[in-house]
Amino acid sequence: MQAFTLAWVKAQDGKPCNEAADILQKQATSEGQQIIYIPAPRSYLIKRLGEISSQKWQIQWDTGKTGGNIYQIQPKVQTTPIPWQRSEIHFTTGHGPFPTYLHRFHLKSTDFCGCDEQGSPIHYSTECPLTSSYTKFNPKFRLHQFHGKDQKFILQQGMGPFRLISIGSI
């Protein structure tokens, strides 16, 4: 990633790089080339560069081959950091006490849940009949958004929100 620094300098300050810029400016002017001035304040340029960076980052996030679990929960990129709880990290990454993760490292003989479905975090929070008493709603949830105020995931259905407070060993 490239970093950009914009700064105003006084004319005729005697610095070699500024003197070289003056020589190039005079050369361009004498050869008939037009000097292009950017009629925008520094704050606008910084804001615009940030917007372009965010757009490129969003495209990479949308088309990337990694981070699929987190993308399902947080499809929009953010520049503000979000302090996540340990259980939320386990849930979003799938790196926790889930059969799919434990089976991957040969710590469990199968990656299936007790209900004979693949034991992923999404399965436990949305479909599993063994955890349906924790969800309180019809188990066909749609993962909707991340609630930034209290840093809890929100699974939303027509009847209202469900907050994932913690994940224990299931």
The answer to whether residues 141 and 128 touch, using CB atoms and an 8 Å cutoff, is no
Task: Enter the pTM of the model.
Answer: 0.44
Ordered per-residue pLDDT tens for the chain, 170 residues: 566 666 666 666 667 777 777 787 777 777 766 656 767 888 998 999 999 999 999 999 999 888 776 787 778 888 888 787 888 788 878 888 889 999 999 999 999 988 888 888 888 777 888 887 766 544 344 444 333 333 334 333 333 334 444 444 44
CA dist., res. 138 & res. 126, Å (int): 9
Query: What is the pLDDT at residue 2?
Result: 62
Structure tokens that stand for 132 in this block: 């349906």
Please list, in sequence order, all residues whose beta carbon lies within 8 angstroms of the beta carbon of residue 109, skipping any fewer than 6 positions away.
103
| Cβ atoms 103, 90 nearer than 8 A | no
Spacing of C-alpha 165 from chain mean position: 21
